[in-house]
Amino acid sequence: MLLEGGIPVNDLLQKEIETYKRRTPKSAAAHHRAEMRLPLGVASSYRAYDPYPIFVKEGHGSRVLDLDGHEYVDHNLCFGVLLAGHNHPAVVKALEAVLQMGTTFGMPHEMEWELAEEICGRYPVDMVRFGSTGTEVTMHACRLARAATKRDLILKFEGGYHGLHDTALVSVKPTAEEVGDPSEPNAVPQGLGIPQGTLSTVVIASFNDLEGVERRFRQYPNQIAAVIVEPIMMNVGMCMPQAGFLKGLREITAKHGALLIFDEVKTGGKLAWGGASEYFGVKPDIIALAKAIGGGVPLGAFGASKAVMDLITNHQIYHGGTYNANRISMAAGLAMFREVLTRESYADVVRLNKKLSDGYRRVIAKHGIEAYVVSAGANGALMLLPEQLRNYRDWLRIDQTLWSQYWFGMVNRGVIPQPFWRDEQWTVSVQHTDADIDKHLAAFEDVAPGLAKAQQERRSAFVNAGR
């Protein structure tokens, strides 16, 4: 048997999937119904997986309830959006207040200035504009950079994810056959519909390869407008920047007259109080924010120096949006910045994340699993690799069957350890408790012997095949 994406199913994974199906018949039925009207039966293709996804009934604090009435400790948290956890009281109170006063006007109001102040006080930017999604703000960030430099090319990293606009949908998940020479990776469109013209404006380099980035700048002199980078690549589990990598990007871009865009859609809210610029001590030219800053409602923002943002002031580039700075988003954003994303909350979340990561490390060592755990801020991931990954190509080597065994095993034991698929990571929210982490670790302790066994069997099969 194969799961979607050609994942082979071993006996242990088969058992976990059978248990999953036995526990979740109402999700199966809901998915079957949804497939008639929604491609893949879901509203975003990232939510689809075999045999069918869990359908959620409610979320409260650190937990979600599925249609069959099972409760899960939730570390998916809407792909990391919910650092606040579900229905955080401060966010709910702020939303209830604005619901009584009008939700959107298409005219300015004072909350947008207040939120802009919060953002400029926390991240190294002078001015911001708002949007609703990560896709939207990274798209505007790229346009801003192209306009500011009067250049067309954007350098992005193989495996990096910056949303769904045409420039971003290049070399997101190329196959091993498509990637090409590691020193000059191919620009591979992610699916159909990316115009050839756009593809030719995207230059690809490998994460953690400064020499490769330099080479690209030499190949395209005075043509690269910006390097867009997620400071920790979080579309491959978690790939940490090696010491000096982000600083090196800062220097190379400055030397070549290009801008540095930090896509902080994930890191901005979940890594540290001041996002990746604070955490790594590197100041980009443009920052794109979304996800966690909205506390569960759509909110994005992009910001830069006054000189760059003056391109908008001077009507040289177009920026607008019907829902920009609607009251719902502003109220949630203000509640997040003032009451949730505090230094104290980060300290708490980091403590719990350390407890979780250390617990994983103990279990991994005890059972002799070939894996490691990576964590930073509110994020972490079990990486089924023998050593730290440096880039997308290392990530391609993760055993998908084993990873699926881990994920279904955890879910069957009442813990959603992260969104489905090995490219994501867990989030610890401000509403998680020590009891949640204990439950998570108990589930992992239960799943671990099966992972060790499956790895051992694979190794033996490999050795026997070699005889």
Ligand X SMILES: Cc1ncc(COP(=O)(O)O)c(C=O)c1O
- Distance in angstroms (rounded) separating the CA atoms of residues 96 and 89: 10
45 Cβ contact list (under 8 Å, min separation 6): 39
> Count of CB atoms within 10 A of residue 136's CB?
23
Q: Which is nearer to ligand X, 224 or 228 (CB)?
A: 228
Rounded least distance, CB 182 to ligand X, Å: 22
For 397, other C-beta atoms within 10 Å of its C-beta total: 11
- The CB-of-266 to ligand X minimum distance in angstroms stands at 5
Nearer to ligand X by C-beta: 138 or 208? Answer: 138
Residues 203-262 that bind ligand X (CB under 6 A): 230, 234
- Which residues within the stretch 116-175 sit at the binding site for ligand X (CB under 6 A)? 133-135, 138, 161-163
Rounded CA-CA distance 26/407 in Å is 20
Task: Assess whether 366 carries a catalytic annotation.
Answer: no
Q: By C-beta, is 138 or 201 nearer to ligand X?
A: 138
Count of residues that interact with ligand X, criterion CB under 6 A: 14
Instruction: Clarify whether 161 is annotated catalytic.
Output: yes
Strands (DSSP E) contained in 132-245 are 153-157, 202-205, 224-229
Q: Report the DSSP beta bridge partners of residue 2.
A: 8
Sheet holding 259-264, edge to edge: 127-131, 300-304, 286-289, 259-264, 224-229, 153-157, 202-205
The distance of closest approach from Cβ of residue 10 to ligand X in the complex, given in angstroms and rounded to an integer, is: 30
Among residues 236 and 290, whose Cβ is nearest to ligand X?
A: 290
Within positions 436 to 465, which residues make up the interface with ligand X, using CB under 6 A? none
* Closest distance to ligand X from the beta carbon of 95 (Å): 19
**Angle (CA) 368 374 375, round 5°:** 135
Indicate the residue type of 465.
A
Between 268 and 450, CB nearer to ligand X: 268
266 binds ligand X (CB under 6 A): yes
Q: Of the two residues 157 and 217, which places its CB atom closer to ligand X in the complex? A: 157
| Closest of 259, 266, 243, 235 to residue 391, by C-alpha | 235
* Least Å from the CB of residue 23 to ligand X: 28
Pull the structure tokens for residue 148: 């500011």
Q: Tell me which of 66, 158, 209, 263 binds ligand X, using CB under 6 A.
A: 263
Helices of type H across 325-399: 327-335, 343-367, 392-395
> How far apart are CB 423 and ligand X at their closest, in Å?
10
Residue among 74, 263, 394, 399 flagged as catalytic = 263
Would you say 79 or 346 has its CB closer to ligand X?
A: 79
Q: 156, 266, 270, 291: which is the annotated catalytic residue?
A: 291
Return the exposure string of 299-324: e unless at least 16 CB atoms fall within 10 Å of the residue's CB, then b: bbbbbbbeebbebbeeeeeebeeebb
Place of tokens 């607008």: 320
Residue span 55-84 as binding mask against ligand X, x where in contact by CB under 6 A, dash where not: ------------------------x-----
Q: Which one of residues 265, 356, 374, 378 is an interface residue with ligand X (CB under 6 A)?
A: 265
Residue 333 engages ligand X in binding (rule: CB under 6 A): no
- Of the candidates 292, 235, 252, the residue with the CA atom closest to the CA atom of residue 424: 235
CB of 276 to ligand X, least distance (A): 11
- In order of 176, 244, 404, 419, 454, the CA distances from 423 in angstroms are 16, 24, 12, 9, 21
Nearest-10 Cα torsion for 417, 168, 48, 18: -50
**Is residue 266 flagged as an active site residue?**
no
Structure-token pair, residue 94: 């702020």
Catalytic residue from among 20, 49, 123, 161: 161
Q: Which stretch binds ligand X (CB under 6 A): 178-186, 263-271, 355-363, 450-458?
A: 263-271
Where does this chain bind ligand X (CB under 6 A)? 79, 133-135, 138, 161-163, 230, 234, 263, 265-266, 290
Residues annotated as catalytic are 161, 263, 291
